[in-house]
Chains A and B, each alone.
Chain A
C-alpha cells in the first residue's frame, strides 16, 4: 500500500542559485571567508520542520498563500527537491501533474511529442502507442496533431500536455491546481478526467485555491504558512483556518 511519511523535513533553496553565479564571486567569497559577513542573499527556508503521514485512501487538500510552500511540498514528494534535513519516505508510484505545460520539442509534431512525453513519464514506446488514439481524441486539436508544436497556440499546447499527463494514473497523485487552461468545454472534460484519475489512485494531494473543488474532492486539509504546517485536520476546518489567516493578513 502506498504511503508518504515526512519526519521533521526542512528544505532550503540554495540561494547560490539566485546570486553569485560567477567564478569571480566564488573566488572572492573564498578570500573573504572569516571576515565580516557580506550582504549575501540567505538561503530560502521553504519548508520548516514538516512532520506528517499520509496513508492509502487519503484525499488531501493543500492550502496556503502564494509562496507558502505548497508547490515545494509537492515537488519534494515527487522526488525533485531533496530535503536538507529530516527524512522523507515515499512508497508507491508517483504521478505528478506539476509544470505540465513545459517541455515540448518545438520542431517535432504533436504525435512525436506525445511519444516523448509518455517516455518522460516512464512509459514504454508500445504503451504510449496503445494510448495514442485516446490522447489525440482527448486533446481534440484536430489536424494540428501532425504539425510541429511550434505552430501551436499556448492553449493547444496545454491541452496536449494535459491529455498526455492524465493518460495514465499512479498510486500517488500530485496535482498543482486542477488546470487553468482551455475553454469551458475542455475544462469540464478535464475535470471529469481528473476525477477518474483520482478514483484510480490510492493517495491524492491537491494544492488549490478553489475551496469548492477542495471540499468536494478531499477529506483532509493541510494549511501551510511561510513554510510551516499550521493546520492538519478535516478539510472544512482547514478552509476555515485558511480563511481566518487570510483575513488576518489582509
Chain B
C-alpha cells in the first residue's frame, strides 16, 4: 500500500515524462501526431490487399479487422520491448532518487496508450467510412477497453523489466517469443480460420484474443464485448499483477545493483 502511495506521490514526475516521450516522438516531423494514424493505415492497406487475395475474402471486410489487429499488436509489442528496457533506460533517475520503480514502466505504458488511442481514431474513421452501420452505444466500450489495456500492459512491462535487468538475455529472447505469440493468435488471421482448423484452444484460452475483442466487438460489429472477454481480461490483469508484485518483492531494492 505504501508502494501505491509513493507512485501517486510521484505522479507529476511520471506524467510529465510520459508527455515528454510523446513530444519527442512527434517533434520536428511536419505531420507529427498524424504519423501515429497513417503508419498503421499504410500497413493495413498493404496487408489487406495481399491477404484478401490469398485468403479470398473481401478487401473492405478484411481491412478494418487487420487494422484493429495492428493497432493492438503495436501496443502490445512496444510495451513488451519498451518495458523490458525501462529500468535500463531510466538508470540516471534511478541512481539519483528513490522512487518506486514501477513509475518508469508506467511512463512507457502511458505514452504507448496515448499513441494507441490516436491510432484507434484511424480505425474509427475507417469504420465510419466502410461500415457506418456499426456506430452505436457499444463504441463506448473503448472507455472500458483503454483502462483494461493500461492495467494489463503495466504489470506485464514491470515484470519484464525486473527480469530483464537481472538477465540481459531476456530482451533478445522476447523478440522471438513475440513472433511466436503473434503467429498463434488471431491478430491478422480471422478467428474463423482458427476455429475451422479445429484450433479453438488458441482462441478461447488466449488472453490476446479476448483483449482484441474489447475493441473489435464494438468497432467491427457494433456489439458489446462478451462477459467471457471481460472476465478473461480481468483474470489476466490479476495474474500479471501478482507476478509483478512477487517479482517486485524480491527485486525492487536490488535493481540498482544490476544496473
Q: Is the CB of A120 within 8 A of B98?
A: no
Q: Is the CB of A23 within 8 A of B167?
A: yes
Chain B residues contacting A81 (CB-CB under 8 Å) are 256
Q: Is the CB of B12 within 8 A of A96?
A: no
Chain B residues contacting A16 (CB-CB under 8 Å) are 166, 257-258
Q: Which residue of B lies closest to A14 (CB)?
A: B257
Chain A residues contacting B95 (CB-CB under 8 Å) are 80, 98-99, 102-103
Q: Which A residues between 125 and 142 are near B, CB-CB below 8 angstroms?
A: 125
Q: Is the CB of B96 within 8 A of A102?
A: yes
| Mask of A97-110 contacts with B, CB within 8 angstroms, 1/0 | 01110111101100
Q: Is the CB of A108 within 8 A of B23?
A: yes
| Mask of A49-86 contacts with B, CB within 8 angstroms, 1/0 | 00000000000000000000000000000111110000
Q: Is A203 part of the contact surface with B, judged by Cβ < 8 Å?
A: no
Q: Is the CB of A80 within 8 A of B98?
A: yes
Q: Is the CB of A96 within 8 A of B16?
A: no
**From DSSP, what is the main secondary structure of chain A's interface residues?**
loop
Chain B residues contacting A120 (CB-CB under 8 Å) are 13, 93, 96-97, 99
Chain B residues contacting A96 (CB-CB under 8 Å) are 96-97
| Mask of A113-156 contacts with B, CB within 8 angstroms, 1/0 | 00110011110110000000000000000000000000000000
Q: Is the CB of A14 within 8 A of B254?
A: yes
Q: Is the CB of B13 within 8 A of A108?
A: no
- CB < 8 Å neighbour of B16 from A100, A103, A119, A122: A119
Shortest beta-carbon distance, A179 to chain B, in Å? 15
Q: Is the CB of A98 within 8 A of B258?
A: no
Compute how far the CA of A81 lies from the CA of B256 in the bound complex, rounded to whole angstroms.
7
Chain B residues within 8 Å of chain A by Cβ, number: 29
Q: Which A residues between 1 and 38 are near B, CB-CB below 8 angstroms?
A: 13-14, 16-17, 21-24, 26
| Mask of B1-32 contacts with A, CB within 8 angstroms, 1/0 | 00000000110110011001001100100000
Q: Which residue of A lies closest to B24 (CB)?
A: A107
Q: Is A112 part of the contact surface with B, judged by Cβ < 8 Å?
A: yes
- The verdict on A107 contacting B168 (CB below 8 Å), with A82-B253, A116-B13, A120-B97 known, is no
A-side residues, CB < 8 A to B, are: 13-14, 16-17, 21-24, 26, 78-82, 96, 98-100, 102-105, 107-108, 112, 115-116, 119-122, 124-125
Q: Which 6 A-B pairs have the closest CB atoms?
A: A103-B92, A102-B92, A107-B24, A119-B13, A17-B257, A82-B253
B-side residues, CB < 8 A to A, are: 9-10, 12-13, 16-17, 20, 23-24, 27, 91-93, 95-99, 166-170, 253-254, 256-259
Known: A100-B96, A103-B96. 18 other contacts (CB 8 A): A14-B257, A16-B258, A17-B258, A17-B259, A22-B167, A78-B98, A80-B98, A96-B97, A98-B96, A102-B96, A103-B92, A107-B23, A108-B24, A112-B20, A116-B13, A119-B10, A119-B12, A120-B13
